[in-house]
Amino acid sequence: MLTAAAPPPPHDLAAKPAARTGAHLVVEALEREGVDYVFGYPGGAIMPVYDALPGSRLKHVLVRHEQAAALAADAYGRVSGEPGVCLATSGPGATNLITGIANAFMDSVPMVAITGQVGTSLMGTDAFQEIDVFGVTLPIVKHSFIARSAADIPEIFAEAFALAKGGRPGPVLIDLPKDVTQALGPFPPAGPVPAPAGYASPDPASMRAAEALIRAARRPVLYFGGGIAIARAEAALRDFHDRTRIPAVATLKGLGGLPTEREDFLGMLGMHGTRAANTAVMESDLLICVGARFDDRATGKLDTFAPGAQVIHIDGDASEISKLRRANVALPGDIAAILTQLEPGRLDIAAWRTRCARNAADWAFRYDAPGAGVYAPALLNALSRQAGDRFIVTCDVGQHQMWVAQHCRFSRPQAHLTSAGLGAMGYGIPAGIGALFAEPDATVVTVTGDGSIMMNIQELATLRRYGLPLKIVLLDNSQLGMVRQWQELFYEQNFSEVDLYDNPDFAEVARAFGIEAFTVDRRADVPGAIDRLLKTRGPILAHVRIDPAENVWPLVPPGKSNSDMMEAS
């Protein structure tokens, strides 16, 4: 439950000033789109919008760095399915949003990013805090707008929201010159914005061809990715899997599409995937690829990936089909509708299912590592299971990210929020903030490392301000762990700039922010630590010291086939 610093009570929308500013049109446009939360940080060029916020229905969340605003909006969009909204001023405010915008673009997350801009007469003059954010962000947005007139604001916002969540979702940028938001007028009401075109029905001949391939296959694999969560197609995926019982594997972003403990689910594939998942894919004669894109982290050396398999590729974005691996049957369109309509009938795959299940059992992860120190995979597995179906993890980037993917239990796609495509350190705590505003009753846990947490540690102040009950598990090995692991394995143990020996006492740092915190360094104390994390009502940080030499296994070396997996010696 969110307990602190409530925003002012909403006022009646009918009580608007007769002469409104462009900034009032911005606020009204956001209200019209049903926006509840705006994550932001004020400044000069965006000040007119902040002046119009009080008295509106919008709840503004004041972060302590604009990057955190964009990352929180990203997580809000992933959990809610609606565009997350972030707000920043011009110049450094706008550039600080860029990492979060890029993160949303890489992972296809609906977002509307709003930036202040210098007045139109100053644009192009190198004015104070002027940055061409329109140009800077062109490669990482679905679309961009510069409002040249206050009268255009309602239509711009309506179109921006439609674009952000239509088709393949993504971020849309709206740049607001200060004179436009200050302009007074009565303004005409917003006109209707055409609804984005829906998906065409799947081609019947392609559907029959796909069904024939599935019936003929003896070693099929269902390979699914982040498109399942984007399309909210998990129910259709589970129904298709119930009907076919085809052994299944997930990408990093696909985790949760099928529940982790489901029969015939073999785990994550790829660089840090399970041996059972990678072996099944490499031995398959048919890949049914659903909402995945043959990313290099999943495929390893592409020309050796599933060498004997034909491919059925189902995706909401037709441009992804045959981009990296030629599809024998292409099925672009509504993923849920296609999976529901596919009826391959009875399959002759009992021997294949038995083989995959035996491999999964033989190669299952073990949690009985020797020693008295904390074994991070065992802690994460136990924590996720004890948290139950309301569990959401927001993960930073590094070794802990892969341990979360390998060892946590996920019951739904929205339970696993991670910076997959961009790999942005510092994602975890801001994403936890966004997730809690999207789903206040969830048990939200941020798993971070001693490197990642320092990227956005200032957001502990945001947790305190809003009383957000985020559970933070900080795995501290006093190293940049993933870089150190690669240097050990592939750079002849030339450990260059990875030693974080001078870390602060993170529990003391958290307490300085007013956050409850404690330290764990013994395995025997882990059960009590999990209980304390889950039972504490407010924000809490567990500073968990782990072995600096611990590596993530298995691992497919860069440039190698997924059949060339390295294991712990």
Domain boundaries, the chain: 20-185, 204-362, 376-545
Structure tokens at 552: 């993530």
pLDDT of residue 17: 47
Confidence of residue 565 (pLDDT cuts 50, 70, 90): very high
- Rg of the Cα trace of the chain? 24
**DSSP assignment string, 507-555:** HHHHHHTT-EEEEE--GGGHHHHHHHHHH-SS-EEEEEEB-TT---SSB
Confidence of residue 18 (pLDDT cuts 50, 70, 90): low
pLDDT digits (tens, 9 = 90+) for 364-417: 999 999 999 999 999 999 999 999 999 999 999 999 999 999 999 999 999 999
pLDDT of residue 319: 94
pLDDT of residue 192: 73
Phi, psi of 540 (to 5 degrees): -155, 145
| pLDDT exceeds 90 at position 10 | no
| pLDDT exceeds 60 at position 9 | no
Structure tokens at 97: 């949003």
Query: What's the helix, strand, coil split of the chain in %, to 5?
Result: 40, 20, 45
Q: Give yes or no for a cis peptide into 548 (omega within 30° of 0).
A: no
Q: What is the 3-state secondary structure (H, E, C) of 214-279?
A: HHHCCCEEEEECCHHHHCCCHHHHHHHHHHHCCCEEECCCCCCCCCCCCCCEEEECCCCCCHHHHH
* 359 Rama sector, left if φ>0, alpha if ψ -120 to 50, beta otherwise: alpha
Do residues 359 and 278 touch, judged by C-beta distance below 8 A?
no
| pLDDT exceeds 60 at position 418 | yes
Confidence of residue 4 (pLDDT cuts 50, 70, 90): very low
pLDDT of residue 5: 44
Do residues 288 and 262 touch, judged by C-beta distance below 8 A?
no
Distances (CA, A) of 385 to 291, 381, 389, 409, 443: 27, 6, 8, 6, 12
| pLDDT exceeds 70 at position 2 | no
Do residues 359 and 275 touch, judged by C-beta distance below 8 A?
yes
Average pLDDT over the chain, rounded to whole? 94
Distances (CA, A) of 119 to 125, 178, 180: 11, 5, 7
Q: Average pLDDT for residues 1-22, to the nearest whole number?
A: 52
Residue 67 is given by DSSP the state: H
User: How big is the CA angle at 505 (ends 501 and 511), to the nearest 5 degrees?
Assistant: 160
Asked if the domains 20-185 and 204-362 are classified in one and the same CATH topology, the answer is: yes
pLDDT digits (tens, 9 = 90+) for 469-486: 999 999 999 999 999 999
Residue 304 is given by DSSP the state: G
CATH numeric code, 204-362:
3.40.50.1220
Structure tokens at 457: 């540690």
pLDDT of residue 20: 86
Classify burial at 490, counting beta carbons within 10 Å of its beta carbon; exposed 0-12, middle 13-18, buried 19 or more. exposed
| pLDDT exceeds 60 at position 328 | yes
| pLDDT exceeds 90 at position 249 | yes
pLDDT digits (tens, 9 = 90+) for 95-146: 999 999 999 999 999 999 999 999 999 889 989 999 999 999 999 999 999 9
Confidence of residue 199 (pLDDT cuts 50, 70, 90): confident
**What single-letter amino acid sits at 536?**
T
Task: Tell me which H or E stretch contains 311.
Answer: strand 310-315
Structure tokens at 493: 């143990």
User: Domain 20-185 belongs to what topology?
Assistant: Rossmann fold (3.40.50)
| pLDDT exceeds 50 at position 15 | no
| pLDDT exceeds 70 at position 314 | yes
Q: Which of 135-149, 193-207, 253-267 has the lowest mean pLDDT?
A: 193-207
| pLDDT exceeds 50 at position 13 | no
The owner of tokens 């089909």 is 321
Q: Average pLDDT for residues 45-71, to the nearest whole number?
A: 97
Q: Average pLDDT for residues 525-541, to the nearest whole number?
A: 97
d(CA 507, CA 209): 59
Q: Residue 380: how many CA atoms within 13 Å on its side-chain side?
A: 31
Classify burial at 454, counting beta carbons within 10 Å of its beta carbon; exposed 0-12, middle 13-18, buried 19 or more. middle
Q: Would you tell me which CATH number, out of the four given (1.10.8.10, 2.40.40.20, 3.40.50.970, 3.90.1150.10), belongs to the domain 376-545?
A: 3.40.50.970
**What single-letter amino acid sits at 444?**
V
> DSSP H helical segments within 266-398, as ranges?
275-283, 296-299, 335-341, 350-362, 376-387
pLDDT of residue 202: 87
User: How big is the CA angle at 271 (ends 407 and 229), to the nearest 5 degrees?
Assistant: 65
Question: pLDDT > 70: what percent of the chain?
Answer: 96
Residues classed as catalytic: 66, 128-129, 178, 482
pLDDT digits (tens, 9 = 90+) for 420-433: 999 999 999 999 99
pLDDT of residue 259: 96
pLDDT of residue 1: 41
**DSSP assignment string, 109-138:** --EEEEEEE--TTTTTTT-TT---HHHHTG
